[in-house]
A = this chain, B = another copy of it.
Amino acid sequence: MTTTTATIEAPAPKKMPVPRNGVDTPKLFATIAAVGDQPPLAEFRFRAESRWVKGTHSRSAMSGFYGAGGEMKHRAAFEADSDHPGVLCGEDQGPTPVEWVLHALAACLTAGIANIAAARGVTLESVECSVEGDIDLQGILGLSDKVRNGFRAIRVGFQVKGDAPAEKLRQIVEQSRARSAVFDILTNGVPVAIAVDAA
């Protein structure tokens, strides 16, 4: 009887995760399991060390961070410049600070999309992201107390291509949003403390 046969069959084996989209999916799953077993491994502290160059130009280095229970080093000491453009009295030696924020958001959501697609067995063909932010500089220029200093709105547009139906690709983007560190930081805010050593 087919019913009996069905009851003695072993349950269908879980699909084993395989590397996909350049994501080492088995390692990703193992990492999540390891952190689940030892939550203190999840405590990270990231850093940037910045030095003023001239005018509105500064340069940051991002080389070390704490995480997974110990002090870590990046493969290289990454450096990045920031400046204001000529129209804002800078020398345009790098993107503005607010453009770096948009870059961070695009990067965070995109990394999440690749990871989640791999975990769900979806192979991506391409992911493109446009981010824009609206800002009224009357705030930072001190011309109005009614205008906030930062962006009043940010819009993100994704173009995602992969071997899954459009609805499934959209769900992957939504899950990335729901678990994005930078999306959370930007939409919910973070307490920032500033200490000054002046001489």
Contact = CB atoms under 8 A, between A and B. Distances in A.
Given A31-B88, A55-B22, A184-B148, A46 B179 contact: no
Contact of A51 (B45, B115, B127): B127
Interface in A2-46: 21-24, 27-28, 31-32, 35-36, 39, 42-46
Nearest to A111: B56
Main secondary structure of the interface of A (DSSP, over half): mixed
Number of copies: 2
17 contacts: A22-B57, A49-B130, A50-B110, A56-B115, A80-B95, A80-B103, A98-B185, A100-B101, A104-B104, A153-B192, A155-B192, A157-B195, A157-B197, A162-B198, A167-B198, A187-B190, A187-B192
Contacts of A60: 102-103, 106-107
A89 B157 contact: no
A85 interface: yes
Interface of A: 21-24, 27-28, 31-32, 35-36, 39, 42-58, 60, 62, 65, 67-68, 72, 74-75, 78, 80, 82-115, 124, 126-144, 147-162, 166-167, 169-170, 173, 177, 179-199
A97 B90 contact: no
A80 to B, nearest CB: 6
A156 B192 contact: yes
Contact of A182 (B53, B150, B177, B193): B150
